[in-house]
Chain A
Amino acid sequence: GENVEQHPSTLSVQEGDSAVIKCTYSDSASNYFPWYKQELGKGPQLIIDIRSNVGEKKDQRIAVTLNKTAKHFSLHITETQPEDSAVYFCAAHYNFGNEKLTFGTGTRLTIIP
Chain B
Amino acid sequence: EAQVTQNPRYLITVTGKKLTVTCSQNMNHEYMSWYRQDPGLGLRQIYYSMNVEVTDKGDVPEGYKVSRKEKRNFPLILESPSPNQTSLYFCASSPLTVSNQPQHFGDGTRLSIL
Contact = CB atoms under 8 A, between A and B. Distances in A.
A26 interface: no
A34 B102 contact: yes
- What is the interface residue range for chain B against chain A? 20 to 34
B90 interface: yes
A101 B45 CA distance: 7
Given A43-B108, A44-B43, A44-B90, A101 B103 contact: yes
A41 B105 CA distance: 12
Contacts of A31: 100
B106 interface: yes
Contacts, number: 66
Given A34-B102, A103-B44, A41 B97 contact: no
A110 interface: no
Nearest to A98: B56
Nearest to B100: A32
Interface of B: 4, 31, 33, 35, 40-45, 48, 50, 56, 58-59, 90, 92, 97-103, 105-108
11 contacts: A31-B100, A34-B102, A41-B107, A41-B108, A42-B108, A43-B92, A93-B100, A99-B56, A101-B33, A103-B44, A103-B45
**Ordered nearest first, which 3 A-B pairs have the shortest CB separation?**
A43-B105, A32-B100, A105-B42
